[in-house]
């Protein structure tokens, strides 16, 4: 997917040197509506590719992904170089290009940070990463002043990234489960359409299942007394020790479900490999 991003930027802005001239009328006035439509549609395509890159795990599959992200950033910034002298001082064109670059750089910067986290986590497993500091993305997105469709696409990218961060940095604390519930709620209550919402919900369900299995196993090991960990959602009391249900039509996911349940049950682990 990151290769597609690089190619799309190359084809639409670099190879087509005069891409911007088609938005100017004969009297040198600019058709702002058509320009914004072009910029917005391109952004939607690019940000969607970034989300799909996370979903298919390119940050682990492609060893050179950080170099590719740097190339994308350089290509994006070079769009200015192709603006002809006749139109470069047009304020509307300049602002549209600047917003486009700022939006992509925000996504690239955030994705690069995530890639570095995963790389450090794999290379130095004994390192305990306490937190990762980055700019206030919500404030930065608000500053971009895009229409709702673009803002929604960017937010959905961040939600995808947040979920995969939870996937790689699993935690048995109740805060982890609470974060999953809140993320699930934000994904399903958003007013912005997101074509990958089903995939995110499946992953959230699996992580919740894994968390509950771990809680049950830990409780058995330390032989908890009468104390039961519970939480209250919409006035419904739920115990973390309730037997979780994970239904999926995916054979691969069901295989992982079985493995997970046996993985945390040492008494029956050997049976799984017979």
Distance between CA 55 and CA 237 in Å, rounded? 33
What is the enclosing helix (H) or strand (E) of 232? strand 230-233
Report the pLDDT value the prediction gives residue 274, as an integer from 0 to 100. 35
* 242-246 long-range Cβ contacts below 8 angstroms, 24+ apart: 242/212, 243/216, 244/208, 244/209, 244/212, 244/213, 246/205, 246/206, 246/209
pTM given for the model: 0.83
In 3D space, the residue among 82, 93, 101 whose CA is nearest the CA of residue 35 turns out to be: 93
pLDDT at 211 over 80: yes
Q: How far apart are CA 162 and CA 166, in angstroms?
A: 6
Can you give the pLDDT at residue 272? 37
Q: What is the pLDDT of residues 83-110, one digit of tens each?
A: 877 777 888 998 999 999 999 999 999 9
Mean pLDDT of 20-31: 91
Whether residue 269 is predicted with pLDDT greater than 50 in this model: the reply is no
Q: Which stretch of 7-11, 112-116, 134-138, 262-266 has the lowest confidence by average pLDDT?
A: 262-266
Mean pLDDT score, 127-134: 56
Q: What is the mean pLDDT of residues 140-158?
A: 80
| pLDDT at residue 246, rounded to an integer | 64
Phi, psi of 5 (to 5 degrees): -60, -50
Q: In the prediction, which pLDDT does 267 show? A: 47
State residue 266's pLDDT score.
Answer: 41
Whether residue 129 has pLDDT greater than 60 = no
- In percent, the amount of the chain with pLDDT more than 70 equals 73
pLDDT band at 80 (very low <50, low <70, confident <90, very high): confident
pLDDT at 28: 85
């Amino acid at each position: 997917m990151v290769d597609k991003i690089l190619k799309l930027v190359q084809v639409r802005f670099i190879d087509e040197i005069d891409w911007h001239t088609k938005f100017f009328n004969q009297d040198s006035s600019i058709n702002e509506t058509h320009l914004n439509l072009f910029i917005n549609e391109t952004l939607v395509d690019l940000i969607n590719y970034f989300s799909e890159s996370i979903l298919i795990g390119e940050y682990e599959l492609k060893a050179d992904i950080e170099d590719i992200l740097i190339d994308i950033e350089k290509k994006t910034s070079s769009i200015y170089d192709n603006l002809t002298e006749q139109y470069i001082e047009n304020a509307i064109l300049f602002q549209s290009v600047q917003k486009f670059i700022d939006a992509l750089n925000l996504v690239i910067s955030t994705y690069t940070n995530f890639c570095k986290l995963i790389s450090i986590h794999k290379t130095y497993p004994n390192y305990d990463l306490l937190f990762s500091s980055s700019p206030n993305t919500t404030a930065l997105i608000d500053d971009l002043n895009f229409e709702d469709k673009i803002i929604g696409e960017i937010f959905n990218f961040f939600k995808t990234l947040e979920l995969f961060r939870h996937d790689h940095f699993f935690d048995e604390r109740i805060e982890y489960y609470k974060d999953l519930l809140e993320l699930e709620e934000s994904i399903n209550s958003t007013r912005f359409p997101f074509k990958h919402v089903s995939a995110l919900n499946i992953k959230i369900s699996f992580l919740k299942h894994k968390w509950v299995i771990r809680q049950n196993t830990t409780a058995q090991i330390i032989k908890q007394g009468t104390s039961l960990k519970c939480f209250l959602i919409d006035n419904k009391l739920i115990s973390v020790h309730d037997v979780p249900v994970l239904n999926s039509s995916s054979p691969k996911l069901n295989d992982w479900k079985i493995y997970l349940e046996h993985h945390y049950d040492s008494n029956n682990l050997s049976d799984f490999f017979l």
